[in-house]
Amino acid sequence: MRMKTLCLLGAAFWALTLNAPAQVKISPYDSPAKAELARDPWEIGAFLQGGFGTNSRDDFDFLSAGVRLGKVITDEHLPGILRGQFEYAGELMPYWQSFTPAPHIALTKYIYDGQVGYAYFPYGGGTFTGVSITPIILRWNLKPSRHVVPWLQAAGGLIYTTHKYPPDILVPHGEPGGTSVWNFSPQFGIGFHYFVKPRRSIDFAANAIHISSASLGDRNPGVNASVQFQIGYTWWK
């Protein structure tokens, strides 16, 4: 009787084993992107970013360099092509520059006592240097392939420049008079990580960045839109 019971238990265990779903371990060498994102990792990266302004600021150019820290917070959620993982990140750019036209005279529209007129005013310009921090990056990492993790993000940051930016009408002391040394940089971006080996990736991104002082100065001409491209390298922990 005891032997018969053991045989029945053994047969039941064998049947359950056959019916259990196979647990496939993802190899970090065969599929480094999938293996890394499955661990909800940290990312530490360095990058170089550059681009140009659009519309009325198409003669502005930008160049910056910095570091990024991020943490994948969730496992995969949502169905279909939107399936992915949420990540929170931040960036610091101790090197930030904007190259604008040299100081010049420009025909400018003005309103005085309800009357609209035009006059020539001196404008500032040249190279502006500063520091940028983006403490809020909300990134959605889409479902990875073997080597690639595409993503999209929304972010908000702050830029400090050593002179008021963007260049505007000059006041008598020769300093831009209408803008501010502080500007905000709400932005939206897309990009992808390409894993060259386990826990290492090369990163590519394109960002649409708006620059505005939120009227901290007397005037807020801002940069309505700039397109900036980023290339970087990331260590995953």
CATH no. for residue 63? 2.40.160.20
Q: Is residue 125 part of a domain?
A: no
- pLDDT of amino acid 17: 40
Q: Is residue 148 part of a domain?
A: yes
Q: Is residue 224 part of a domain?
A: yes
Q: What is the pLDDT of residues 148-184, one digit of tens each?
A: 999 999 999 999 999 899 998 887 665 556 789 999 9
- Domain with 159 in it: 28-101+130-236
Name residue 64's beta-bridge partners: 49, 96
Q: For residues 211 and 182, give the distance between their C-alpha atoms in angstroms, rounded to a whole number.
A: 10
Query: What is the average pLDDT across 124-146?
Result: 96
Residue 77 has pLDDT above 50, yes or no: yes
Mean pLDDT for all residues in the chain: 88
Q: Is residue 11 part of a domain?
A: no
Model confidence, pTM: 0.82
Residue carrying structure tokens 């940028």 = 132
- pLDDT of amino acid 44: 98
Q: Is residue 168 part of a domain?
A: yes
Residue 6 has pLDDT above 50, yes or no: no
Q: Is residue 181 part of a domain?
A: yes
Identify the burial level of 228 via C-beta atoms within 10 angstroms of its C-beta, where 0-12 means exposed, 13-18 middle and 19 or more buried.
buried
φ, ψ dihedrals at 7, nearest 5°: -65, -40
Considering only residues 96 and 5, tell me which one the structure prediction assigns the higher pLDDT: 96
- pLDDT of amino acid 173: 62
Q: How many independent structural domains does the chain possess? A: 1
Q: For residues 55 and 75, give the distance between their C-alpha atoms in angstroms, rounded to a whole number.
A: 41
Q: What is the pLDDT of residues 183-220, one digit of tens each?
A: 999 999 999 999 999 999 999 999 999 999 998 887 78
- pLDDT of amino acid 30: 75
Q: What is the pLDDT of residues 23-61, one digit of tens each?
A: 445 666 678 999 999 999 999 999 999 999 999 899 999
Q: Is residue 122 part of a domain?
A: no
Task: List, in order, residues 6 or more apart from 161 with CB less than 8 Å away.
Answer: 96, 98, 128, 129, 130, 181, 183
Q: Is residue 177 part of a domain?
A: yes
Name residue 49's beta-bridge partners: 64, 230
CB 175 within 8 A of CB 169: no
Per-residue DSSP letters for 46-57? EEEEEEEE-GGG
